[in-house]
Amino acid sequence: MQAMMIYKSGQGGPLLNAIDGYSTEDFIEEMAIQARSLRADLNVTTFIADGVPAIWFFDRNMLELALINALHNSITYTRGKVSISARIEDEMLCISIQDDSEGYPQHILDSVSQDKPLSSNGTGLGLRFSSMIAKAHTNQGRTGFLRLRNDNGAVFEICVP
């Protein structure tokens, strides 16, 4: 499904989304439940920062696809801890998945920051799809984005206006 959506987008077709209001706290907890169901011995924590509204508007199904992909990657490389959090940055909801792995290799960080496909060690399909999902979220001239970084492990962050 991801490959077909990327192909369609590459042919000039838009990535359609169905924006609606959802509980940010419930959504974060549902992602934690997903993570725990994928690996029973995983230590999963959640955090909602002060100032995060109870309701945010986004395409729940699409955002869930991006986050589940990130969770699968975190579960593959973590030493045993994953944190799922939400905060507000520049009037955008930013949802992060952080693990205690060795972090992202530099070529992956570079590919996302430069919005280029991966050239080695993976297809990059999940990251490209997640970036498309973020960018499909627009509001008042603002566009969502994907950000990867290393901070005591890998940090996957998707921000939506």
Domain contains 160: no
Domain contains 5: no
Q: Would the pTM count as exceeding 0.85? A: yes
What pLDDT does 132 receive? 87
Domain contains 79: yes
| Burial track 135-152 (b if 16+ CB lie within 10 A, e otherwise) | bbbeeeeeebbbbbebee
What pLDDT does 145 receive? 96
Task: Domain of residue 74: give its range.
Answer: 20-102+117-142
| Burial track 79-92 (b if 16+ CB lie within 10 A, e otherwise) | eebbbbbbbbeeeb
User: 91-107, pLDDT tens digit by residue?
Assistant: 999 999 999 999 999 98
Number of other CB atoms surrounding residue 107 within 10 Å: 14
Domain contains 66: yes
User: 18-34, pLDDT tens digit by residue?
Assistant: 899 999 999 999 999 99
| 9 close to 125: Cβ distance less than 8 angstroms | no
Low-confidence ranges of the chain (pLDDT < 70): 1-16, 113-124
Instruction: Round to whole Å and give the CA distance between 30 and 149.
Output: 24
What DSSP string describes 99-128? ESSS---HHHHHHHHTT----SSS--HHHH
Domain contains 109: no
Domain contains 132: yes
Instruction: Round to whole Å and give the CA distance between 21 and 71.
Output: 23
Domain contains 4: no
Residues whose CB falls within 8 Å of the CB of residue 79, separated by 6 or more in sequence, listed in order: 99, 100, 101
Domain count, the chain: 1
